[in-house]
Structure 1
Amino acid sequence: MAKVRIRVELNHAGIRNLARSAGMQNSMVGVAEKVAATAGPGFIVKRGMSRNRARAAVVASNLEAIQAEQNDRALTRAISAGKVS
């Protein structure tokens, strides 16, 4: 049987445009909002854009949220709410 060689060339500019698109940003923020809501009060979503991709993060915004994560792992437990199937 003959060996078949496949060469794949990535369109890096296209991938970067996709990763920075409004749709990607909205999708990531939507997932982060689910995680923040599951984690409880005091957890907020921060969004951003790097050179290559959109970002979203869930952070504790007050002392109660920090203590909820420290004592009960509220944010850590809420990560599963962000799973996309």
Structure 2
Amino acid sequence: MAVKGMRIKVNRDAIRKLLASQEVADNLTPRGERIAAAAGDGFEVTTSKNRDRVVVFVTATTTDAKLAEAEDRALTRVIDAGR
């Protein structure tokens, strides 16, 4: 239900700071590790900070893992493990 006349002012600097914080990294890294574990052997998790936020990548590092991703969508099938 909307309240007529109400305005919300977003503090963009605070949001940018939050997205780049260690707390976000501490939350995302275990999610990536759960996805990698559910996908199987040969998947690696990398946490880094881009220009303005923390990101986590799960990548296939072995030939078998790359084939599993290419042929069976190993990462796509287990994305819910990161919840």
* TM-score, shorter chain, exceeding 0.5: yes
Partner of 2:17: 17
Alignment of 1:1-85 (within 5 A): 4-83=4-83
Q: C-alpha distance in 2, partners of 1:13/1:31? A: 26
**Ranges in structure 2 where 5+ consecutive residues have no aligned partner:** none
Q: Which moved more, 1:67-76 or 1:54-63?
A: 67-76
> Residue 57 of structure 1: CA displacement?
1.2
Q: C-alpha distance in 2, partners of 1:74/1:34? A: 13
**Ranges in structure 1 where 5+ consecutive residues have no aligned partner:** none
> Residue 71 of structure 1: CA displacement?
2.3
- TM-score norm. by structure 2 comes to 0.88
- SS of the residue corresponding to residue 7 of structure 1 reads coil
- TM-score norm. by structure 1 comes to 0.86
Task: After the TM superposition, list the runs of 4 or more consecutive aligned residues in structure 1 that deviate by more than 3 angstroms.
Answer: none
Corresponding residue pairs, total: 81
Paired residue type of 2:7? R
Q: C-alpha distance in 1, partners of 2:25/2:81? A: 18
Q: C-alpha distance in 2, partners of 1:39/1:59? A: 10
Paired residue type of 1:19? L
Percent identical among aligned pairs is 37
